[in-house]
Every structure is written in structure tokens, then in C-alpha cells.
Structure 1
């Protein structure tokens, strides 16, 4: 079975049900049957071009926004047994060039075929979407009578669930994106866990306000179609339009990253009087919510389970913290079903309860390998893998993340993980967002600095921040310099861009104001 199997089943049982809506108001809508026909046309065209048994070197790439063609291409390629490299339109030319130079696709679908695409991909392999060449490609290769129902896919049977179907790319503020190869089986197992953990089913309408170039939102799309739900995509995130779409489409599930949730709250406060009792779940990943932010979820979504979960492009779902969980709010929850954790010291030994160690994960949801061997190896022979996060397990089995091995600061000889300092700052109700970085210092080595965005009109002095944060993290790790800003920079995946924050502070010409 491929990741398109559940979707295909729904096209026969509920062909007229709404599968996809893109944009609000008069935006485009697709039924399950219409989306099936679109995916089938793509699958036929790909098989006609690359043969019934495409080799492992065959990959297509998609460089599109949240357009209607994206799901057709992604599902059609899955049916045809051809992996899809999902490229991010928000990448710089240098990032895009690095990926295309190292791992050029067999065919690339894009909105505009300019530099650096034409430098690394032959013109004949580029198809602009939408465009006459794309339509001709579908017509030439994907035409013919559509028998409908299961018969329409009878010629595409035989793709093993161990085969790769997707190459996602790790998000980050610096460095070349790393391609992560996923098998059908890894996502099918993750589908099972999401369905059991969150209860998403055919009665739901799922709103995805983020880019499909990021696995959190792409997974939300494919899982929703797998269980027969309706999916609403936004061409680009806008807080006001997202709230309108929740109302317009009667959305019941909402995928988010914390910065999006904060934007929804800020917009709602400027336009009071709206509540959305029909939303059943807020599914957030990417960074911790502050306890104050989590408590504010009830202002807009009084009946929603505010769920935070920890995972990664390589790992899928690792741990979950539900809104009604009595566990510590600063944790990322307990391991999901079927997930094993092993926290290890630098020498590879298991650490004790509440001792920090590198988080190793084993489950049937892990990725297969990196696209380029230069990016590292996949899971070891015993099935364990780590993305380098540092955490600790408490007495009740809750996982607390304290940092990344590569992002660790050494300040006055003390190891400082920026994430643990950030978590302490977010315990202060006056702070809405925080970024912790290290600046070079002759005395300290890395001088711990924080940039904060205040909650409302609240303000604190540096000494107050240090004194109150010291209740949650060692005082030696508390920020020694503090800056305030009206807006923090984000990566394209909605995470705070710590590299840019540090660069802005080093440059010295910025709008961030030092707090004394």
C-alpha cells in the first residue's frame, strides 16, 4: 500500500465529498473524485515518461506554493512509485542552487523557470505550472479514458511500502538544506498514530495555514485525505484570513507553529468578539509554547485540545502533550505509542532520571536515509537515530528538551543550551517571545544574550528578568544582556531565525533596543 491508498479508497466510497479547498471565498474546490482524476492523470504521465518500473535514480521535484496542482502532483507521483523532492519557494538562490547541484531531479515542476533553475536543470526537464507545456505534458502522456473507481488505478499496483515516496528538507536558519528520504511505510505507520492520538476522521475539516514545503503541513494534508477529511489550504499565511477561513469552512482541526498561533491571538485582540467553539484540536510543532500562551488558547478556541508535540522531519511523531495532560507544561510530553527513547551521555551510556543526554529515538516511523551521504547516515543497525537534541526524562517519563548539541554555548566554562534559557524566559508572563543567542566576549567566551518581544504593555528590567528566570534555570545561565524588539525574524517554517538574530546583534545597526 502507498500513502495514496487511503485517499484512493475514499474516492470510491465518498466521491462527491469535498477533498480540497484553496483560498477563501470563491477559491478553488475539488471533490475526492476530481482530485482522483487529477492525480491519475499525473500518474499516467509519469509512468509514460519514466516507464512502469522507474529506477531508483528517478525523482521529480516540486517548487510550488500551496496551489491546487501540488496535491495532484504529490499524490500522482506516489501512485506511480516516483519520489517527490519538495523544494521550498522561500529558499534563497544559494540554498536552491546547492540542492539542485548536488541532487538534480529528473523533472522539476515550478511556477517560474528562472535562475538558478535553468543553471542546474535542463530546459526540457522544467515545466512551469500552470502553463501550456504542463497541460500538453498531461495531455500527451496522461490522456485516455478514465475508467473511474479502483479500475482507474489497477495499472499502478505493485509499489512496495518500503519504497521511497518523498524527500523533505530540514528547515534551519543556516547551512544547506538536508534531504530526508521517507518510505511509504514510515508515513503509513505515522497515519495510524495520528488517527489514534488525535481522533481525526472523515467528519473533520482540517485547516493548513502553512507552506506544504514543510513536512508538518504536508503531512497534515496527506493524512487528512487518508482518513477522508476535507482540507483547506491557504496560499499564504495571514492571521485575519486564517480566522475567516476557520469560520467559512467550519474548520475543526488546525495545524500550527507557535508563531502562527501568536499571530492569531494578536489579530483577535485587535478585532475582539470572535470565538471558534467548533475547533477541536490545535496541533502545534516546532517550538515550545509559553504557559501563558497555552492558557490563552481558550480565549479563541474554548473547546480545542491545545496539543504540542515533538518530532522532526527524520523522526515523525516522538512525544505528545495534550491540553488536558496533567504533566509539566514545560515538557514536550510523553513518548507516542510505539516510540522508544534512549538518552545518552557523550560516551554513549544511558543517563539517569532528570540527567541531560542526547535524545535517541527508535520507532517504525523513522526516515530511511539522507538523500546525500555527505549529510550523515540514517538509523543505526539497531534502529536508533538522533537529530542531536539534548533532553532529560523526568520521574513520570515526560521528555524535557534543553537544547541542541550543535547550538550549545560555553559561557564562563559552563555549557548553556539556548533552549533551556528560552523556556525559562517564557515562564515570565510579560514575555511573549524570546530568542537566546551567544555573542563573543573576551571574558565569558559566549555571552548569553536574549531578545524578547513583550506581551502587551508589560516591561521588565534586566535584573528583574534575571531574578525571575533564575527560578527556572541556573542563574549562571540567565541572560547577561537583554534586548527588546517589536518583531523577531522567522525562518520560512515559522521558527525564530536565531542565526539572523545573532547577525543583527553583531552588526550593531538594528532596531533592537537594549534593556538595562
Structure 2
């Protein structure tokens, strides 16, 4: 199984159909395959064989060309996040040892200063770019040059530390593409947009799925709510793969019925129920889905927001996903009881790159240990209690921040919230809420406690509030928990 084969077929059967489009140009399937084959030929001519090819770039057509060209050549592409620090870039280059790096002019100088023997090719809008000069004399290869079981090495968004490399195979993503068709009842997959960074799993997955399906993928260099809505207005039946923070930004400026979006598919963070209700009103007629998954697991569960009434749920398992919720003794817990979630499917990742101990730690007899604490209801819907690594112990009792955050995000006055534990001589950890308010109105700590007690045990309610003007986010749109904790340590001294 290889993700490139259907793209080649689309180029033969519908050569003039647009595969990629951005504000500057559109690329047909035949032109895209021509570029893919030329890149693959160039990599082979430079002696690359199952080697690593790094891409340090913002969202652009060349990113897609190189990513697919590397796969066509049997190499392993490694998308690198432009928002990484110099320390992170240096560490990952040292770990992965790419033979060739494709990048933008803005990042090339920094890469040249790194201790790497890789050849660096710079994208440029003008013909003088080293990438364009390298590409011009190359002729396309008629046959698939090579096949590699590995699809790519991606990196986690690093919400709590240095990003970890995760290894994806062709089979795992092709099985995930099949799960999309089974779960999301889409009328047609003709136009797709995932306006987040292509270096992250959500957008990259949507991109490759789009091309695998023969649809048109619309590229934005970076997320801009106004530009997303304008594009959706111009192109009906758009399917959007987004994170909840993007939906919030779009709703702030959208007018009801001004767009004809076919579907909004949300992941990458819990989408709170209040926001979902507003979304139903603003984007009337659009299908609304939320799914829960991870870079390691791919799809785990999903639910149709318009058809199902399961507040605070993360949905029911995708077809082909086996679920097991276990206690600390690895025994399955009864329905309604919380335990750690284990999953098994053909969609899970192969392991962490060059981290054998960490890979071993997340697998148990073929089951992937997600690190998420869950419970399941009688209808097989899953509910998140929290991440094991985020768990606090206050007064000798376990508290999962995500559970409290989910409750507090139902309060209209709260725009964003993060719960964490502050060391305390009496409690062990003092449950603390960092809050960004949505307007001028503020709630007191007593009002916050009173609201929480209606939904969770009293010991889980925050005992203090810290107000911030804005949160720090990872480039994939999640709250950067470790960065926020570090910031709090500095301001609370």
C-alpha cells in the first residue's frame, strides 16, 4: 500500500483537475505528479536511498511537492516546524541526520549555521532560488522509483517539552482515510482546507487524504479567519479540518448563512459545548463533527454534533478501533468507571524515532497506552477525565485538569482556561485556574467554586484564580501547558 499510487492514477484520469491552490497559483494533478517525479529523480541522482529529507517551511505548494517527491523516491520526509527554537531545530537535525533540507530563504541562514552535512535547498518565488535551479534540469521518472514502508517522521507539538519524533507508515494512514469515509457522512470530497500548519498531523493528514481522494486542497500560508471565510464563500461545499480556537475566531466575524460550508471537522483540543451551540447557529447547514485522536493513534473516536446529544463526550470509537479501559492493575473497569484508555487498530503509529524505551512504554501486548484517563457509557461513548501526565494530587485526591477546564469553559465570561497545581504545604498541590476573560465582566473565586460544585466534586474546584491577557499556544493551536506553567512560576515569585 502506497499513498502515491492513487495520486498517479488521478493524474492519468483527470490530468487537468486542480490538485493544489493558493493565492498565487493553481497546480493540476498532472503538473503535480510531474514535479513529484522530478524531485524523486533529483534525490536519486544525489545518492539518496531510503534516507531522510527534512522540510523546514511554512504552508506552500513546494512543501507538498517535496513531501510527496521524497515519498515517491522511497525516502522519508521529515516536516520541521518553523516556530521551533534554534535549540529544537539543532537537536532534531542531530537526531534525524537528513541528507537534504528544503527550506525557505528566511530559515536558510540559520540552518547553514547548524552542525549538519545536509545539502540545503532554498525555496524562492523568483527563478534564482536554489530549489528552482536544482529542479529545472531534472526530467521526470516514468516508474515509481522506490517503495518504503515508512511514510514520514513527524513530531509532536511539544505541549509539555521537547517534540518527539513519531513514525508513520503508509498503511496506517490509508486505513485512516478509509475511516474518514465510513464515519463522516460527506456529500462529496471536492474541496478541502486545513488552515493550520502543514507540519502538524491534523493539516498534513487532511492534505494527503485530499490528494489521495482526488480532491482540491486549498493552501493558506497561515490561519486567517477572514481569509478562510472568504474562500468558503467563493467555493461552496468546502470541508474544513480545524481546531476549536480556529472555529472561535471564525465565529467572531462570521455572519449566519454567509457561507455554504459542507462540514466542519474539529480536533486537536476539546471543543466546548457552548461553542458548539453557537456554531450550529452561525454555520447553519454545515455538518459538524468532532473527533478525538493523536499523532500516535490517529483516529480514536468521533461524534456527529448535529445528530447526537452527548455533552462533554469525545464520541464513540471509529470502525476498526478496539477500546479497553483499565485500572492500575491492567484489569478492565466497569462501564461508568474511570481508567486509562488502551486502544488497538491498524491506524496506530509504528513507534517513536530512536526512542526504544519510550516506544516500549506506550505499548502493552499490541495495545497502545494513550495516557488518557476515560470512562465509557452504556452507548459506548467515551468521556475524558484527563491526561495521566497532567494529573494533580490535592489533599491526597487525584484531579485531572481537563475535567475542570471542560466545566469552566461552559461559562460565557471565560474565553480560555488552564488548570494546574501550585505546590502547597497543606494541600500538596493547590488547584489553580489561569483564566482569560471573554469581556469586561469578571467572576469571583466564590462564584467559580459555586459553579464547579454543580458539576464536579468540591475538592476539584479551583482555590485561586490568576487572570492573564492571553495564553501561550503551540503552533498546532493547543495551550502550551509547560510554557504557561513556566510563565506562572516567574510571575508568582
Structure 1 residues 71 and 50, CA gap change in structure 2 (3 angstroms): same
Match of 2:29 among 25, 32, 35: 32
CA distance in 2, matches of 1:170, 1:117: 25
Aligned position for 1:348: 330
TM-superposed deviation, 1:327: 4.1
Match of 1:241 among 227, 230, 233: 227
TM-superposed deviation, 1:264: 1.1
1:107 equivalent to 2:122? Answer no
TM-score, structure 2 as length reference: 0.93
Aligned position for 1:335: 317
TM-superposed deviation, 1:276: 4.0
Aligned position for 2:244: 258
Contact preservation (8 Å) 2:363, 2:369: no
Contact preservation (8 Å) 2:52, 2:96: no
Aligned position for 1:118: 113
TM-superposed deviation, 1:30: 1.1
1:226 equivalent to 2:212? Answer yes
1:84 equivalent to 2:40? Answer no
Superimposed CA distance per residue, residues 378-437 of structure 1 (whole angstroms, 9 cap, x where no aligned partner):
674742112311111122211111111111111111111111111111233332321111
Aligned position for 1:481: 464
Structure 1 residues 70 and 351, CA gap change in structure 2 (3 angstroms): same
Contact preservation (8 Å) 1:363, 1:383: no
Aligned position for 2:412: 429
1:320 equivalent to 2:302? Answer yes
Contact preservation (8 Å) 1:436, 1:449: yes
Superimposed CA distance per residue, residues 151-199 of structure 1 (whole angstroms, 9 cap, x where no aligned partner):
x64243x626xx0011111112332211001111111111111122224
Contact preservation (8 Å) 2:189, 2:239: no
TM-score, structure 1 as length reference: 0.89
Aligned position for 1:127: 121
Contact preservation (8 Å) 1:428, 1:469: no
Counterparts in 2 of 1:7-18, with a 5 A limit?
A: 7-18=7-18
Count the aligned residue pairs: 487
Match of 1:368 among 336, 342, 350: 350
Q: CA RMSD in A?
A: 2.1
CA distance in 2, matches of 1:106, 1:137: 15
Aligned position for 2:87: 94
TM-superposed deviation, 1:374: 5.3
Structure 1 residues 174 and 93, CA gap change in structure 2 (3 angstroms): farther
Aligned position for 1:139: 136
Match of 1:212 among 198, 215, 237: 198
The alignment partner of 2:114 has SS state of helix
CA distance in 1, matches of 2:13, 2:311: 42
Contact preservation (8 Å) 1:99, 1:176: no
TM-superposed deviation, 1:457: 4.9
Superimposed CA distance per residue, residues 23-61 of structure 1 (whole angstroms, 9 cap, x where no aligned partner):
3xxx2211111111111111111222236xx24xx1111
TM-superposed deviation, 1:225: 0.9
The alignment partner of 1:324 has SS state of coil
Structure 1 residues 36 and 260, CA gap change in structure 2 (3 angstroms): same
* Structure 1 range deviating more: 433-442 or 423-432: 423-432
* Structure 1 range deviating more: 469-478 or 330-339: 469-478
Contact preservation (8 Å) 1:427, 1:469: no
Superimposed CA distance per residue, residues 86-106 of structure 1 (whole angstroms, 9 cap, x where no aligned partner):
111111111112211222212
TM-superposed deviation, 1:11: 1.2
CA distance in 2, matches of 1:221, 1:301: 23
Structure 2: 5+ residue runs without aligned partners? none
Match of 1:402 among 351, 366, 385: 385
The alignment partner of 1:154 has SS state of coil
Aligned position for 2:22: 22
Contact preservation (8 Å) 2:262, 2:287: yes
Contact preservation (8 Å) 2:256, 2:281: no
